[in-house]
Amino acid sequence: MSDVVIGMSGLLTILLLILFRLPISISLGFVSFLGLTQIIGFNSSLSLVGRVPFDFAANWTFTAVPTFLLMGTIAFYTGLTANLFHAARLWLGFLPGGLAVATNFACAGFGAASGSSLATTVAMGRLAIPEMTKYKYDPGLACAVCCCSGTLGALIPPSIMMVMYGIFAEQSISKLFIAGILPGLLTAFIYALMIILRCSWNKDLAPRLDERPTMQEKISALLGIWPLLVLITLVMGGIYLGFTTPTEAGSIGVVAVLLLAAYQRRLTVDLLMKSLKDAAVSTAGIFFIALGAILLTKFMTFSGVPVALAEIVNQYSVSPLLFIIMASVLYLILGMFLDPLGILLVSIPILMPLLQSYEMNLIWFGVIAVKYIEIGLMTPPVGMNVFAVKSLVGEDFSLVTIFKGVFWFLGAEAVIMVLLIAFPQISLFLPSLM
């Protein structure tokens, strides 16, 4: 059996094992190890397995992952951004579908404090879904806006996905963070436009709010979100102005969020312990998957699969656009079945050599990849964000109702993706100013 065949068989086995519910980390690591034994021999593979964990974990760049995760969990548990939804509601409630639009922008705001779309979905879903239900909003719209706008958490910096992409694709994490800002805002605005148009067309979807807040109330609500503004200034301002690296910014973010929560008397020892435990468990889980992905990268390199794929692509003179479309289809299909981190870490070792052969901008591709992976969180049958919302609403609304609402947002995503692919400057303009 040739090395390429071993590599392809290994990839297929990994996908099958993941589909059959084996832990993603073990599927990646174990199969890659077995594949490596076939290519470079047992002893060399064993020595590789011994070296990789320490070399990989003792990495300064990786410190961004636990710190941003901890920042997000503390913000989540202490309800630091609870005023965000209130402020968005007072300012945007007058619009058709005002509460849904407010939820959408509140998610964008929470995304600036959390690097995870799941955390954003749950945090905002807890506040916004009961409120929208009270005002007799269409259940599909109420749930879907939380599922889909929650994905802004992974695009608007800080973003754990961007950190992982940056490390594995060897790209600047600062630039990736900054590159996510405009696509994140574009997504929020297109979602808002879609909600407003739908609710103007069909008034039963979202009855208008009868409250008319005064300007004083609005300004007071806006002042209530100052902790978030402080956090954004410290974390993103530091990175953008070059005072801090993303790794340092994550640490500063944790200390800032701790001080802000303590100042607002929201921080208790219990909440701190809960945040630390959640962040530690998530970090270990993510890093264990990443360890498997590193072994996969080595397995792919030794097997020569990426080179063979690049040769095929060159042989058929696939245009860059067609290649991006093919990669998009691949991400959409994988997104229907796999976990976001799994998709990212399985795809990078295979796609990266191809992207390099096309001389594509890897910062731009990072934004595209993260966008597609986040779309996977909304698509059936897995759609993790949909399940997160389902767990919040219990038996009140069915999965089918939520997925029906989500399809409108997927339509909006199609428009957003076309814009992001057709106009790379949307992603690259801000990084070009750094």
Shortest distance, CB of residue 45 to other proteins, whole angstroms? Answer: 9
Distance of CA 171 to the CA centre of its chain: 17
Shortest distance, CB of residue 252 to other proteins, whole angstroms? Answer: 5
The answer to whether residues 375 and 335 touch, using CB atoms and an 8 Å cutoff, is yes
Residue number with CB closer to other proteins (30 or 189): 30
Shortest distance, CB of residue 153 to other proteins, whole angstroms? Answer: 17
Residue number with CB closer to other proteins (121 or 247): 247
Shortest distance, CB of residue 157 to other proteins, whole angstroms? Answer: 17
Q: Is the peptide bond before 158 cis (omega within 30 degrees of 0)?
A: yes
Residue number with CB closer to other proteins (79 or 285): 285
The answer to whether residues 127 and 82 touch, using CB atoms and an 8 Å cutoff, is yes
Residue number with CB closer to other proteins (67 or 151): 67
**What torsion do the CA atoms of 65, 28, 371, 282 make, to the nearest 10 degrees?**
-30
Shortest distance, CB of residue 72 to other proteins, whole angstroms? Answer: 13
Binding site for other proteins (CB under 8 A): 18-27, 29-30, 33, 46-47, 49-51, 53-54, 57-60, 62-63, 66-67, 70, 243-244, 247-248, 250-255, 273, 276-277, 279-281, 283-285, 287-289, 336-339, 341-342, 381-382
Shortest distance, CB of residue 273 to other proteins, whole angstroms? Answer: 7
Residue number with CB closer to other proteins (275 or 427): 275
Residue in 429, 393, 409 with CA at minimum distance from that of residue 139: 393
Q: Per the structure block, which two tokens stand in for 183?
A: 């696509």
CA distances for 154 relative to 100, 163, 320, 377, angstroms: 20, 10, 26, 11
**What torsion do the CA atoms of 10, 12, 18, 24 make, to the nearest 10 degrees?**
40
Shortest distance, CB of residue 248 to other proteins, whole angstroms? Answer: 5
The answer to whether residues 290 and 56 touch, using CB atoms and an 8 Å cutoff, is yes
Residue number with CB closer to other proteins (26 or 392): 26
Amino acid at 64: A
Residue with tokens 């994550």: 250
Q: Per the structure block, which two tokens stand in for 234?
A: 């410290």
CA distances for 239 relative to 139, 177, 234, 361, angstroms: 40, 9, 9, 21
Residue number with CB closer to other proteins (33 or 364): 33
